[in-house]
Amino acid sequence: MPTENDPRFLRSREAILHAARDLLLERGPAAVTHVQVAERAAVGRATVYRHWPRAELLLMEAMATVPMPFFSDPTVPTRDWLRRELTAIARQLDLDDVRAVSTTLAGTALWDTDMDARRAQFAGVLTDRLAAALDGAQTRGEITLAIPSRDAAALAIGPMYYRSTIEHSPTGTNLIEATIEALGTWSTASSPRQ
Amino acid sequence: MPTENDPRFLRSREAILHAARDLLLERGPAAVTHVQVAERAAVGRATVYRHWPRAELLLMEAMATVPMPFFSDPTVPTRDWLRRELTAIARQLDLDDVRAVSTTLAGTALWDTDMDARRAQFAGVLTDRLAAALDGAQTRGEITLAIPSRDAAALAIGPMYYRSTIEHSPTGTNLIEATIEALGTWSTASSPRQ
């Protein structure tokens, strides 16, 4: 039997993860079962079980292959940085796979403790990063916040999340600008939209 | 066992849906469980499972038969009406069942055509109603909209939807007021928050 250092073990792990991701994107999280993943990856079912004894852990790992690098490394002017970050998130949410991941995360978290921890961690990172960036901007006199900075993630990401997952439409520049304006009063020295 | 073309199959489906709808109206979404629906419909629990393996899908179907109360019958001042409506939606989104229904709707719609049609219908009603109410408010001079009125649903509901399904926290008054302010410039004659 291959062991963890065996190249065959690593190759089959890679193939299984790839198959799981494809099934997630094509047919949703319910399709990520041991049987269907084994078939798609062209490996034995026992091999899938050996790597991931629980299908939901495989699903979670497949979901984690979609990176969420948002709101890291804020730059000044904050308004420009924020516009770039929100536009990047909006473009991600246009993708079916990101839609599938975010709705699966939100849905599965309601009855799965591991997934709920992942949801909380994901939400917490976004809230913390954006709050820190906006607190810094306020300290520098770039903005007078209209809300507690920890409400900013919901206020800024919420509309595009709803637009993507409920309305299934792309988020345009207008909606992004409206959420940026909703955060507070930007100083005239900070760059308005070009 | 009855099959899909069997009249008995269709009759039991109808009876279950009717029971689910009654339970929803009488006792709220949390009452729509396999056990209680089976009892109310006077069918075996296995029959309910055969038609709807997941209770939230049955709940969703039952909900589709009930008129959606939100944003119907706008009153003046629009800002007060809007605050009441958004607060009602926020309180609904605090409930685990409503979270389950909305995330299931969003998630399942990605790979299920029927569910996607339901999602589109649901989203469209909210968008249409809120847009019409705000267009009316603008005509009356209550608000100068900062956005196209059809963006209002995403801007107003999005933050509380994100707060509920991603951050798993209740939506406070501050967040609701911030979304109301984000929609545009309210005339001073319109009532500000008490």
Q: Which fold has domain B7-64?
A: Arc Repressor Mutant, subunit A (1.10.10)
Please judge whether A107 and B100 are an interchain contact, meaning their C-beta atoms are less than 8 angstroms apart.
Answer: yes
Instruction: Write the residue in B100, B110, B178 that is nearest to A100 by C-beta.
Output: B110
* Distances in whole angstroms, Cα of residue A188 to Cα of each of A191, B71, B181: 7, 36, 20
CA nearest to A120 within chain B: B167
B125-146 b/e (C-beta count within 10 Å ≥ 16 → b): bbbebbbebbbebbeeebbebb
Tokens for B55, please give them: 């209770």
Question: Which residues of chain B does A166 touch, with a Cβ-Cβ cutoff of 8 Å?
Answer: 102, 105-106, 119, 122-123, 157, 161
B64: part of which helix (H) or strand (E)?
Answer: helix B55-64
Q: Closest chain A residue to B165 measured between Cα atoms?
A: A106
Domain boundaries, chain B: 7-64, 78-186
Cα–Cα distance, B55 to B38 (Å, whole number): 11
Cβ contact, residue pair B166, A29, below 8 Å: no
Q: Provide the chain A residues 22-51 that lie in CB contact (below 8 A) with chain B.
A: 26-29, 31
Q: Residues of chain A whose pLDDT is less than 70?
A: 1-4, 29, 66-68, 189-194
The pLDDT profile of chain B, 194 residues, written as one tens digit per residue, is 556 678 888 899 999 999 998 887 777 667 888 999 999 999 999 999 999 998 888 888 887 777 777 898 999 999 999 999 999 999 988 887 778 778 878 877 877 888 888 889 889 999 999 999 999 999 999 999 999 999 999 999 999 999 999 999 999 999 999 999 999 999 976 555 54
Chain B residue numbers touching A125 (CB-CB < 8 A): none
Distance CA A140, CA A21 (A): 43
Is the CB of residue B45 less than 8 Å from the CB of residue B38? yes
CB contact under 8 A, B151 and A26: no
Provide the CA B157 distance to its chain's centre, in angstroms.
Answer: 11
Helix, strand, coil percent values for chain B (each to nearest 5): 70, 5, 30
CB A23 within 8 A of CB A32: yes
Q: Which two tokens stand for residue A76?
A: 């000044």
- Minimal C-alpha gap between B60 and chain A (Å): 14
| Residue A174 touches chain B, beta carbons under 8 Å | yes
Per the CB < 8 A criterion, the answer to whether B186 and B143 are in contact is: yes
Contacts of A181 in chain B (CB under 8 A): 146, 182
Structure tokens at B29: 């979404």
| Residue among A102, A34, A172, A65 nearest B103 (CA) | A102
Supply the pLDDT for residue A164.
Answer: 94
Q: Which fold has domain A78-186?
A: Tetracycline Repressor; domain 2 (1.10.357)
> What is the Cα–Cα distance from A100 to B106, expressed in whole angstroms?
9
Cα–Cα distance measured from residue A33 to residue B92, given in angstroms and rounded to the nearest whole number: 33
pLDDT of residue A192: 54
CB distance A123–B167 less than 8 Å? yes
The reply to whether residue B123 touches residue A167, judged by beta carbons under 8 angstroms, is yes
> Which two structure tokens, joined as six digits, stand for B142?
């209550």
User: What is the pLDDT, as a whole number, of residue B135?
Assistant: 98
Q: Which residues pair with B65 in a beta bridge?
A: none
Task: Say what the ipTM of the complex is.
Answer: 0.80
